[in-house]
A and B are shown apart, each in its own frame.
Chain A
Amino acid sequence: MQSRMNKAIVAALGAVALIVPMAACGSSSADSGNSLTVYSYYNKATMDPVVAAFEKANPDIKVQISYGQGDSEYNSTLQTRIAGNQAPDVFNLNGNNRADLMNNGAVADITGAGYLKGIDETYLTDYTKDGKIYGMPISGWLAGVVYNKDLLKEVGYDSVPDNLDDFAALAKKLKDKGITPFLENGQEMSGSLIGLLGSYYASTGTDGDKEIYAGKSTFADQWTKAFEAWNDGFIKSGALPQEATGLNADQVKQSFINGEAAMYRTGGWDVADIKAAGVNYGFSPFPAYPGSEPYVDGGADPAFAISAKTKHKDAAEKFLTFMNSEEGLELFTTAYGSASVSSNYTSDIDEQLKPLYDDYFFKGKFHWVSFEKGSTAMSAEVIAQQQGIQGGTTTPTDAAKNLDAKWSSVQ
């Protein structure tokens, strides 16, 4: 009898032990007192100093911060938390989640809020829908061509040519010397392609992407020319070899650092590594679309937003106010290595990269594609199409048509 009782007790304890942690998953920890839950797109190293300073300035608010890594993990976790009524008070909107979150009423409307003061309107457009502002970006990113000055000198160049023909000529010389001319992350939308697209739009005077989103135009009309120029200048010229389709960001950087490649597409985030490796580097914009001016990739960094269902609105607003203060901006942009887009603080930028910010970014000569619907799927489709062009299996005309087909299928 005793042993039977024991068995039953052990079994029951086992069951409870397994169930309790599961029940704990369902409980909400967001409602405790004056705490503010933040789910951050930016990593711990970037946010820790900011949060510490914020808590010091607001001793009555306790910040509970968690982090997501990379777009897809961050976006799916955030989506799950929102769907499960566990939305954090403050989170980030990025190119791939902003449309879904703004369209589905998950984000609070912050139009006219005092803490937006100082942020240039240009950078708010990505986070605006029907005239209402939903996100506050405080910094901006850009990417251009980083080049190895020593390798370029070997073939008689001081910098990267600003037009496609001369760029192709440089690529040929580098190739003849056994140096890979140009690389970029094959698993992302091609930065050189988007740079060319921006340059092409500058020549037509319209932002073709917006025309497509508005249903007034098609990818076939807007993207074919850029695809063709990219195919001629980067692919057929051999500047961007087909191998690049199988490389990720780290492998591309390695190839540049070990002197295998003379140029690659990057921005401020790689500067520390390039410097540490002792490469004699410089930055330039992407070569221009024929007859137009050069452009860089760029845009506002992921914006800070407040949950539509937050129970800690005051604390959340204080947090955003702090992010756009001189102290917050300095701590944030220094740790993240990006440039403030707020007049409340001017960031120190690497001297090689600074001309790109001054001559292109702050003059609006930047472009990036941020789809207004089905962003992840559309980005994946662009990658597949550009890989098709690189592999010679897809023509520029077909690539643009395939994007139209995908665009009509995404919701």
Chain B
Amino acid sequence: MNASATSAIAKVRRRPLSPEDRATFFFLLPIMVVFAVLTLVPLLSSVYYSLTDYNGFSTDFNMVGLKNYVTIFSEPELLHSLGFTLLFAVSTTLLITVLALPLAVTLNKQFYGRSLARSLFFFLGIPAQAILGLIWRQIFSPMKSGIFNQILDLFTIPPIPWTSDDHWAQFCVIFVGVWMGVGWHATLYLAYMQAIPADLYEQSLIDGANSRQQFIHITLPQLVPAIVVSTFLIMTGNLKVYDLPFTLTAGGPRNATMTITQAILLRGTGQSQYGVGSALAVLFTIVCLLLVTIQQIVASAIQRRFE
């Protein structure tokens, strides 16, 4: 460390806390306490329990090293639940973004009933996921009396085994996930669009740009920060999805729509294997960190490209 750096640090150390610093500290204190109590402590205790054979009842348990992690990698169903969770998170992130952008552009145009249309799309994601899951379960009923199957019947198309076939069930969960998120994220884009200076569009009109060119060369680059925020929110929210697949398909059929959160609960409390459940949670946290980091790197690279 060179001399100037040392003296700079010393200066920082010597500088007395300003009233602003103190106020900031006190304002942040409550949330820091909440973060420590509700996130940090459980996370660290999960790491600890993942190295034990704790069963949730007996306080007499042993350290077992990395045995629980080995268990996870040797059980295909646990890896499968990790796989479906990633499929769900990545596919909903891509699909919601691809659909929400044009929807936002449409909702940004002047037309009769625009406010109503905006509210309607925003409302899709308002009810609790569990309730939406239960409602969509009726719509996607694989019986002939299921709502979608009745519609198909009008066109003499045979019923589709929506929630009773592995792939269709996965499709149903992803479909509802996208359906729920599109309106909310379109609203987010809409808010960012309001901030795009109108003169950019006026200038482009003078230069003879059509609406497609305007979208590609003005709207899209201006929306990059919004896309970064939106995809981050979808990805982090959907990696921990639980209520929707639980109520829509109960993780079935044949565990096809089992998510990692369901597996953690099933293993931890359902099977009295807190050790394996905790190991799964720790592993999942690491995968989430990796995924979100990759996403941030890609996002900032794109952001730089448009700067």
A interface residues with partner B (beta carbon < 8 Å): 4, 7-8, 11-12, 14-15, 17-19, 22, 72, 75-76, 79-80, 82-83, 96, 100-101, 104-106, 180, 186-187, 242-248, 251, 254-255, 258, 260, 374, 376-377, 380, 383-384, 387-388, 391, 393, 409-411
Does B270 lie within 8 Å of A180, measured CB to CB? no
Q: Tell me, rounded to whole Å, the shortest Cβ–Cβ distance linking B130 to chain A.
A: 12
Does A383 lie within 8 Å of B252, measured CB to CB? yes
Known interface pairs A79-B57, A391-B254; 17 further A-B residue pairs with C-beta atoms within 8 A, sorted by A's residue number: A4-B23, A8-B22, A8-B26, A11-B27, A19-B30, A82-B57, A100-B57, A180-B144, A242-B164, A244-B164, A246-B141, A246-B142, A247-B163, A248-B250, A251-B143, A255-B143, A374-B271
Query: Bound complex: CA of A63 vs CA of B252, how far in Å?
Result: 40
Does A387 lie within 8 Å of B273, measured CB to CB? no
Does B270 lie within 8 Å of A243, measured CB to CB? no
Partner of B269, one of A76, A383, A411: A76
Instruction: Given A18-B33, A104-B58, A258-B145, answer yes or no on A246-B27 (Cβ-Cβ < 8 Å).
Output: no
- Residues of chain A with a CB closer than 8 A to B34's CB: 18
Query: Bound complex: CA of A243 vs CA of B33, how far in Å?
Result: 50
Query: Bound complex: CA of A7 vs CA of B26, how far in Å?
Result: 8
Of A22, A376, A410, which is in contact with the most chain B CB atoms at under 10 Å from its CB?
Answer: A376
Does A388 lie within 8 Å of B162, measured CB to CB? no
B240-271 vs A, Cβ < 8 Å mask (1 yes, 0 no): 00000000011011110000000001110111
Query: Bound complex: CA of A248 vs CA of B30, how far in Å?
Result: 44
Answer whether residue B56 sits at the interface, using C-beta atoms and an 8 A cutoff.
yes
Which 5 A-B pairs rank lowest in CB-CB distance, beginning with the nearest? A246-B163, A11-B26, A246-B164, A376-B270, A104-B57
Query: Bound complex: CA of A242 vs CA of B159, how far in Å?
Result: 12
Partner of B253, one of A7, A22, A83, A246: A246
Please give me the residue from chain B that is nearest to A243 by CB atom.
B142
B43-87 vs A, Cβ < 8 Å mask (1 yes, 0 no): 000000000000111100000000000000001000000000000
- Residues of chain A with a CB closer than 8 A to B23's CB: 4, 7-8, 11
Does A186 lie within 8 Å of B253, measured CB to CB? yes
Q: Tell me, rounded to whole Å, the shortest Cβ–Cβ distance linking A41 to chain B.
A: 16
Q: Tell me, rounded to whole Å, the shortest Cβ–Cβ distance linking A27 to chain B.
A: 15
Query: Bound complex: CA of A187 vs CA of B249, how far in Å?
Result: 9
- Residues of chain A with a CB closer than 8 A to B295's CB: none
Within 8 A of A (CB), among B156-176: 159, 161-166, 169
Does A384 lie within 8 Å of B26, measured CB to CB? no
B interface residues with partner A (beta carbon < 8 Å): 19, 22-23, 26-27, 29-30, 33-34, 37, 55-58, 75, 137-138, 140-145, 159, 161-166, 169, 249-250, 252-255, 265-267, 269-273
Q: Tell me, rounded to whole Å, the shortest Cβ–Cβ distance linking B258 to chain A.
A: 9
Does B57 lie within 8 Å of A391, measured CB to CB? no
Q: Tell me, rounded to whole Å, the shortest Cβ–Cβ distance linking A207 to chain B.
A: 24
Does B266 lie within 8 Å of A251, measured CB to CB? no
- Residues of chain A with a CB closer than 8 A to B27's CB: 7, 11, 14
Q: Tell me, rounded to whole Å, the shortest Cβ–Cβ distance linking A235 to chain B.
A: 13
Query: Bound complex: CA of A384 vs CA of B137, how far in Å?
Result: 19
Query: Bound complex: CA of A374 vs CA of B271, how far in Å?
Result: 5
Partner of B144, one of A79, A260, A384, A393: A260
Does A410 lie within 8 Å of B143, measured CB to CB? no
Does B141 lie within 8 Å of A22, measured CB to CB? no
Does A186 lie within 8 Å of B145, measured CB to CB? no
10 CB contacts below 8 A, A to B, read A4-B22, A17-B30, A18-B33, A243-B142, A246-B169, A384-B254, A391-B254, A393-B254, A411-B55, A411-B271
Does B57 lie within 8 Å of A106, measured CB to CB? yes
Please give me the residue from chain A that is nearest to B270 by CB atom.
A376
Does A11 lie within 8 Å of B137, measured CB to CB? no
- Residues of chain A with a CB closer than 8 A to B272's CB: 79, 100, 374, 411
Does A260 lie within 8 Å of B145, measured CB to CB? yes
Instruction: Given A72-B270, A247-B141, answer yes or no on A12-B26 (Cβ-Cβ < 8 Å).
Output: yes
Does B164 lie within 8 Å of A251, measured CB to CB? no
Query: Bound complex: CA of A251 vs CA of B142, how far in Å?
Result: 10
Q: Tell me, rounded to whole Å, the shortest Cβ–Cβ distance linking A123 to chain B.
A: 25
- Residues of chain B with a CB closer than 8 A to A246's CB: 140-142, 161-165, 169, 249, 252-253
Of B37, B143, B163, which is in contact with the most chain A CB atoms at under 10 Å from its CB?
Answer: B143
Does B145 lie within 8 Å of A255, measured CB to CB? yes
- Residues of chain A with a CB closer than 8 A to B138's CB: 251
- Residues of chain B with a CB closer than 8 A to A100's CB: 55-57, 272
- Residues of chain A with a CB closer than 8 A to B141's CB: 246-247, 251
- Residues of chain B with a CB closer than 8 A to A80's CB: 269
Of B162, B254, B272, which is in contact with the most chain A CB atoms at under 10 Å from its CB?
Answer: B272
Q: Tell me, rounded to whole Å, the shortest Cβ–Cβ distance linking B48 to chain A.
A: 15
- Residues of chain A with a CB closer than 8 A to B30's CB: 11, 14-15, 17-19
Instruction: Given A8-B23, A18-B30, A180-B143, answer yes or no on A243-B164 (Cβ-Cβ < 8 Å).
Output: yes
Does A243 lie within 8 Å of B252, measured CB to CB? no
Does A380 lie within 8 Å of B266, measured CB to CB? yes
